[in-house]
Structure 1
Amino acid sequence: MSAEPDDASEGRNFLLLAFSQVVLRCGWIFKTESIIIPAVLDLIAGPGWIRGLLPILNRIGQSLPPLFYARTLKSMAQKKWSLCGTTLAMGICFSALAFCFVPTIRGGVDAWFPQSATWPSVWLTVAFLVCYFFFFTATGLNQVGFGTVQGKLVRVTKRGRLMLVANFFGAIAAIGLAAWLLPMWLTNDDAQVHYIFGFAGGAFLLSAFVSALLKERHDKSPHVKGTAVELFHDAFSVVVEDLNFRRLAVIAFCFGCSLMLFPHYQALARERLGAPLENLILWVIIQNGGTAAFSLLGGPLADWKGNRLVLKLMMCGVFLMPLIAVVLIHTGPSGAVLFNWLFLLVGVTPVMFRGLSNYVLEISPRSEHPRYLAALSLCVAAPMVASPAVGWALDAISYEAVFLTISVILFGGLLMTWTIEEPRHA
């Protein structure tokens, strides 16, 4: 249903989009929200319910702002400036967070508080969560912007190739940088967080510069303002009016449930299997290796057979993740070794996100891409209201009970992937 781009500069734009995403992924590995972010928060805070705030802040930032932004983005003459500006905001957020962890800055602020062991961690935890929220607000706008720019500048049968190039080469470059730099900045005795987050911020700023070089024709679309109620109605009407999207919304909701567990995999390994802090380096490398491998599978399949098949395969990996985690923590010393390789499956997540977005781009008219993408973000984010409760339940009940409950929900999402249409066969 989506019209093909007719821009004569498609080849140039393809390379620039791919390169900007490669650079973005090189920064992303230094702030991996399933590994590094929750581990740093554990170091300065501790309780599971605080760690449980991460997914809800993440998804609120990525869902509600795009909803209010969709009409503005639709009316922009050149969508690349949205992509550039939001990536720039991502870089600023992480640069500010890195600034908070600079030893001289952190020590100076600590001195303002009463001589208590808790106050320094309180201000740093609050600053951390605030920067994290604003970062993912920018990320949500960025993802809608990228999807819209991709829908305008890259034809349907090349979007899987773009996912492959961006994720595969991005993961390989990110792995090389992580293997080189993280051992210098992260040990069992010390975590130089300001260097880790500072590198991430710098990569995002560079990605913003690259996206500004895209060549894009001007659109002519009047700006239509709307109240909050009207904007929510825009997203809700997509679910009500489009049966196929309604089925996809169930898949997105179930996938969103899996995201609530992501900050807790590293905590599970450290608490139940005694994994050292240095294992974070290995885990981010394995996770990005998984992203590269699944992109090699998902990218060509998306262009050849369509995104429905990609969603089926990736959802299967998402479903298996918590089940395997529960099994491994009960298999003794061998489980500690095998648990490292569980993070290969975490690498499914970027491919699943891109598969959902690309599927939505195919089933919606080009003019409605921002609205459909914003509605998709809301569906993924909906279960996140339970995220703090999930973090509390992990401490109060058990990891096993929570992980197995989420697995049942994910199995329902996996079954739903057989009910959605393949747009290329319609």
Structure 2
Amino acid sequence: MNSNSRSSTSIELAKSASATSKQVAPTQVEGVSRNFFLLTLQQIVLRCGWIFKTESIIIPAVLDLIAGSGWVRGFLPILGRIGQSCPPLLYADRLRHLPLKKWSLVGTSLGMAAAFGSLAAMFIPGVDTAIGKTAMVVGFLWFYFLFFCATGLNQLGFGTAQGKLIPPPLRGRLMLASNVVGAVIATSLAAWLLPKWLYGNTIEVHWIFGFAAFAFMGSALSVVGLHENRDSSQASAFSPKRLIWQSYRVLQDDHRFRLVCIIAAAFGFSLMLFPHYQALARDRLDVDLSRMIFWVIVQNAGTAIFSLLGGPLADWKGNRLVLRMMLFGVMILPLGSIFLVHSGEFGIRVFDWLFLFVGITPITFRAFTNYTLELVPAELHPRYLATQSLCIALPMVLSPLIGLLIDLTSFEAVFMGVTVILFGGWVMTYYLVEPRHEPGHHIAYGEMDVDPDDEV
């Protein structure tokens, strides 16, 4: 099939999906304010749990306590991204035909709570010694993987529910409200509770992970009341081979989305470094575990600060500009960390604030999601979002190798290599289209006309 015929196939598919969306759009207008509030609440409560399991700080530090090797730490990114990418790819078609998308959010949030509750139980005093070191490491990685399987399905469900229930002019505002309010509340909880459970080089993991599980359960309950009309469509027979082939065809046929996915893959390389920032600081700056409390607070403050910039900018100028700016911030992380550990007293004083830029990561994920939601009609959202998530995950197969390379060479060599890849991805954002500048970009909502200045 030549490129012209592939393009026409994509256009016809998009037109067909848009026509379907036009038919159901009037029923989706109702309850926008209520849904905006509940989806924002779900993200706020979720963030309150997330801050107690920060995978760039707390999770790798706990794994270091029971394992202590860079190559073991290197499994965290690959398990996390495979969990967030492969299950959504297989589930996307089912979710597309699920009559009420909110039940997917409820179920997957409960799955996140169950996984972290199991992790917390492993660290109850007496249980950890009875299990033994090897079983602790294997169990830790297993429940961590299950948690991110549930997280990937949850993120797909949230993106799909948002695409169905929240109009494009309000999605940036939802990102702003959930991240800023969520960061303030989560940071306050961390400042209050973490010093009780993390002091000196002592960490009471069962309390920290147990609180995270409790918050994830709360996020599940918060979306039960979503106002959502039932979708009526029949799912086809489940076939992993067909689903993978469909994702390949999406990349093959849609050149605009293919460029997004290449940039997403470059962003994926940065995620492999997250477990190693805290190891770099503890190794080169000789800080104890209690310093992580401040890092967690700074990271979540960064999410709030960059949401204040990214949310309104996304509604005003579009997600392409937000994506470009956030990727530039992500690129600062590995470069800045190496510079600071070689800057003497200045580096010791300033390194803590580098975690502000770790807070950009959730905004970058949301920018990728919101960009894709505007790029294609609503009928195609689950498939495109799942494919994009898989592309972010692809570099993660190298994650254990990254940890081994740090052990064999140095933090500097690996971090600089990833910086070069991130720079290439950032440059490619200048070749992205802005969906809002294309005719019919609101077509996924039919005749729905929403003023971004309306009160929600």
TM-score (ref. length: structure 2):
0.90
- 2:81 maps to 59
Aligned residues of 1:255 and 1:413 also touching (Cα < 8 A): yes
- 2:61 maps to 39
- 1:75 maps to 97
CA deviation map 1:117-136 (0-9, x unaligned): xxx22111111100000000
Q: Please give the secondary structure, in 2, of the residue aligned with 1:102.
A: coil
- 2:42 maps to 20
- 2:368 maps to 356
Counterpart AA for 1:124: M
Instruction: Kindly indicate whether residue 346 of structure 2 is the aligned counterpart of residue 334 of structure 1.
Output: yes
CA deviation map 1:364-406 (0-9, x unaligned): 1111110000000111001000000000011100100000000
Counterpart AA for 2:103: W
Give, in whole Å, the separation in 2 of the partners of 1:106 and 1:387: 27
- 2:157 maps to 145
Give, in whole Å, the separation in 2 of the partners of 1:189 and 1:421: 49
1:131-170 equivalences under 5 Å are 131-170=143-182
Out of 109, 114, 126, which is 1:104 matched to? 126
**Shift in Å, 1:274:** 0.6
- 2:403 maps to 391
**Shift in Å, 1:266:** 0.3
Give, in whole Å, the separation in 2 of the partners of 1:157 and 1:235: 28
Instruction: Kindly indicate whether residue 108 of structure 2 is the aligned counterpart of residue 86 of structure 1.
Output: yes
**Any gaps of 5 or more consecutive residues in structure 2?**
1-13, 439-456
- 1:207 maps to 219
Counterpart AA for 2:94: T
Counterpart AA for 1:252: A
- 2:393 maps to 381
CA deviation map 1:268-299 (0-9, x unaligned): 00001111111110000000000000000000
- 2:315 maps to 303
CA deviation map 1:192-216 (0-9, x unaligned): 0000000000000000001111111
State which drifts further: 26-35 or 326-335.
326-335
Aligned residues of 1:78 and 1:219 also touching (Cα < 8 A): yes
Q: Please give the secondary structure, in 1, of the residue aligned with 2:237.
A: coil
Counterpart AA for 2:117: S
- 1:195 maps to 207
Aligned residues of 1:329 and 1:335 also touching (Cα < 8 A): yes
Give, in whole Å, the separation in 2 of the partners of 1:337 and 1:37: 24
- 2:137 maps to 125
- 2:250 maps to 238
**Shift in Å, 1:237:** 1.1
**Shift in Å, 1:18:** 0.2
Counterpart AA for 1:102: I
Counterpart AA for 1:302: A
Aligned residues of 1:7 and 1:216 also touching (Cα < 8 A): no
Aligned residues of 2:190 and 2:293 also touching (Cα < 8 A): yes
Q: Please give the secondary structure, in 1, of the residue aligned with 2:304.
A: helix
**Shift in Å, 1:189:** 3.4
Aligned residue pairs total: 416
- 1:261 maps to 273
Aligned residues of 1:7 and 1:217 also touching (Cα < 8 A): no
Give, in whole Å, the separation in 2 of the partners of 1:123 and 1:104: 14
Out of 312, 324, 337, which is 2:324 matched to? 312
Q: What's the C-alpha RMSD, in Å, of the aligned pairs?
A: 1.0
Counterpart AA for 1:316: F
Q: Please give the secondary structure, in 2, of the residue aligned with 1:212.
A: coil
CA deviation map 1:343-370 (0-9, x unaligned): 0000000000000001111111111110
Identity of aligned residues (%): 56
